[in-house]
A and B are shown apart, each in its own frame.
Chain A
Amino acid sequence: MHELTDIYEYLRWRKRFPTVWCAGCGIGSIMGAIIRGIKDLAIPKDDIAFVAGIGCSSRMPVYLDFNTLHTTHGRALTFATGIKLHRPNMNVLVVSGDGDALAIGGNHFIHAARRNIDITLILINNGIYGMTGGQVAPTTPLGARTHTMPYGNIDPAFDSVELALAAGASFVARSTVYAIMQTTNYIKKAIKHIGFSMVEIISQCPTQYGRLNNTANPRELLLWQKEHAVPLATAKDMSKDDLKGKIITGVFRDTRQSEYTETYRQYVKKVQAEMEE
């Protein structure tokens, strides 16, 4: 167990607090989970590059006492790729919202996964664009109301887990803010994992998503997560119809595959050996 004060040393709390996040938002809990994960793994703060794009969740680097980069919308993974390639020994973490990683940054997401470069992507999915005031996201459920789908969403949603699996990520997991211990656990696994790892965390946005869709009460939204989460093992025996609208949680893939920066080092060795011949 952690004491609340445990996380203080990882925060720029003297300077940067309070955060921009609304009361009841799930992002703060996830930040806590990330810190606890990193603390458990005892990774020195200097060895962590923490990169994010733009959005509510992408504000996180500003509050954390790592090497932090708050970059452009959707492009965090490209910056992270540059850092990881030049400093392969660093732990590179990317925090992204669903719009950031799956809409504007969708291309970078699949290609980072394809390369299996050792970056940990923490994808915070609240099903909406929070920072800009509640517009439809590629993860908004069908029928949900947003300011740009005021009569109910008609765009089918993305499943980021399936996307990551198909693109070649070697660690893929999903959790919820409600199951915060599980979330911490998956984040730890993802950071330890060598290769591209993605943890999707279903979060709540009471201010935008909640207000537009029945309840702005964070407690109810959290309970909704609890009621709709189905562990992977249980989901295997359930029919497609039963799984409709459910959130399948668990570790979907955890394999060791050739990692990009390692492969690049071998490639350089090969090139230089050929040069000497």
Chain B
Amino acid sequence: MPLHRTTPEGYPVLFAQGNEACVYGAIHAGCNFFAGYPITPSTEITEGMAREMPRFNGIFIQMEDEIASIGAVIGASAAGAVAMSATSGPGFSLMQENIGYAYMVQLPLVIVNVQRAGPSTGLPTKLSQGDTMQARWGTHGDYTAIVVAAATVQETYNVTIRAFQLAERFSTPVVVLLDELIGHMREKLVLKEIKRLTPVQRTFPKIPPEWYFPYKEPLDMVAHPAPVGEGFRYSMTGLIHDKSGFPTAIPSEVNHRMEILKNKIMMHCQDIWNWKEHYTEDAKYLIVAYGSAARAARGAVETLRNRRIRVGLIDLKTIWPFPYRPLPQIAEKAKTKRVFVAENNMGQLIHPVREALPQNIKVHGIRRYDGYSLDPYEIVQLVKEKIYA
């Protein structure tokens, strides 16, 4: 794609789709392996990666299905690649078992889910945020997921880069949760990282193979299993394993493994949480949203502010781990009375919000699930209804 313009600082400026922004983000983050399978509305990412990967000495492969795609991505990550796949609802469902494997063996990788309406085939070309919970609880068993989101094309680019950094930092899969609207919409995009060029590097062990334990956690609890083929032969298994990677069923070792999978992320929440605030300082009423719902909510907040109603917006960029500490802090500071959760589904994000807030704050859902974006005017009406009820 020709780069027509640059900012005064020399950064290329494009008028691009969210899905294209995701491709640029991945390349600038240092992604060198992509396996995928076409599915609306994420196909542009797969096509973009097919175009770009060979030009950057990376690998692109279209696999036979999404299960195979994520399998190849995990295999490549095990071999030391900075790997990624992109998909949408049905494909994300197919990937779940293998995603669980990646959580278990602690391999870094990025999965982009451009959400469409479900269940089943649903509305392939319409937007939804119905995978909010699936991204957190999709695979079987207990684990802790990192899920990031974006509300603009520019943010999609930034958040994709961040996803790769988080994946490597915590040696875990990271899900980028977009939706059809963000994926297909065109906006201004500044390729800020093109000059910085500090691609994500895989972490290698610094000790000799004889002393090496792939799952012996350092103080920060994040083990980085060595890439296959570097001389550190060890066992990688989806069974619960001990520090050397061998299957174990000893209760204390099982407990340790399970706690690590959770705590290696939960103890670093501060570094993972990310959100944007709009008018929250004195927000008697607060809207919580992410992605395209946050765009609509932003419009509603402006309108309501014009009418002197003290409404604020928290636009989540990290959905999971849910910012369960910052949210009540913001609400307390602003003496918030009511919280509205705007989302394009039948009410998923509302659950962690409710859980995080004290009982005296009322939580209401603003929902739309007909495949179309929330309407700012609708939000204004609903908020006013509740306030003046």
Contacts and interface: CB of A to CB of B under 8 A. Distances in A.
B77 interface: yes
Contacts of B239: 70
B80 A87 contact: yes
Contact of A72 (B61, B83, B97): B97
A71 B238 contact: yes
A74 B230 CA distance: 26
Given A81-B71, A82-B77, A87 B65 contact: no
A116 B323 CA distance: 48
Task: Classify the interface of chain B: helix, strand, loop or mixed.
Answer: mixed
Contacts of B234: 67-68
Contact of B229 (A62, A67, A82, A268): A67
A75 B71 contact: yes
A4 interface: no
B204 interface: no
Contacts of B64: 107-108, 111
A275 B56 CA distance: 11
A82 B235 contact: no
Given A70-B238, A85-B61, A78 B78 contact: no
Given A107-B68, A111-B68, A78 B63 contact: yes
A85 B59 contact: yes
Nearest to A73: B97
Interface residues of A, number: 40
Q: Which 3 pairs of residues, A with B, have the shortest CB-CB distance?
A: A82-B75, A78-B71, A79-B75
A193 interface: no
A78 B67 contact: yes
A52 B233 CA distance: 16
Contacts of B65: 107
A132 interface: no
A258 to B, nearest CB: 16
A79 B54 contact: no
Interface of A: 12, 15-16, 45-47, 49, 51, 61-62, 65-72, 75, 77-87, 90, 107-108, 111, 264, 267-268, 271-272, 275
Contact of B33 (A49, A51, A61, A85): A85
A79 B235 contact: no
Given A70-B238, A85-B61, A80 B75 contact: yes
Contacts of A85: 33, 59, 61, 72, 76
Contacts of A70: 235-239
Interface in B144-178: none
Looking at A47, A49, A75, A108, the one whose CB has the most chain B CB atoms below 10 A away is A75
A63 B201 CA distance: 31
A66 B72 contact: no
A83 B79 contact: yes
Interface of B: 33, 35, 54-55, 57, 59, 61, 63-65, 67-81, 83, 97-98, 101, 228-231, 233-239, 244, 246-247
Contacts of A62: 235, 237, 246-247
19 contacts: A15-B246, A46-B231, A62-B247, A69-B75, A70-B237, A78-B68, A78-B69, A82-B35, A82-B71, A82-B73, A83-B75, A85-B59, A85-B61, A86-B79, A86-B80, A90-B228, A90-B229, A107-B65, A272-B55
A143 to B, nearest CB: 33
Given A83-B78, A86-B76, 9 more contacts: A67-B229, A67-B233, A68-B234, A70-B238, A81-B71, A81-B72, A82-B73, A87-B229, A108-B71
Nearest to A104: B67
B238 A79 contact: no
Contacts of B98: 72, 75
A272 B230 CA distance: 28
A45 B230 CA distance: 11
B34 to A, nearest CB: 11
A86 B229 CA distance: 11
A82 B59 CA distance: 10
A253 to B, nearest CB: 22
A66 B229 CA distance: 9
Contact of B61 (A46, A75, A81): A81
Contacts of B235: 12, 61-62, 68, 70
Nearest to A62: B235
A77 B72 CA distance: 8
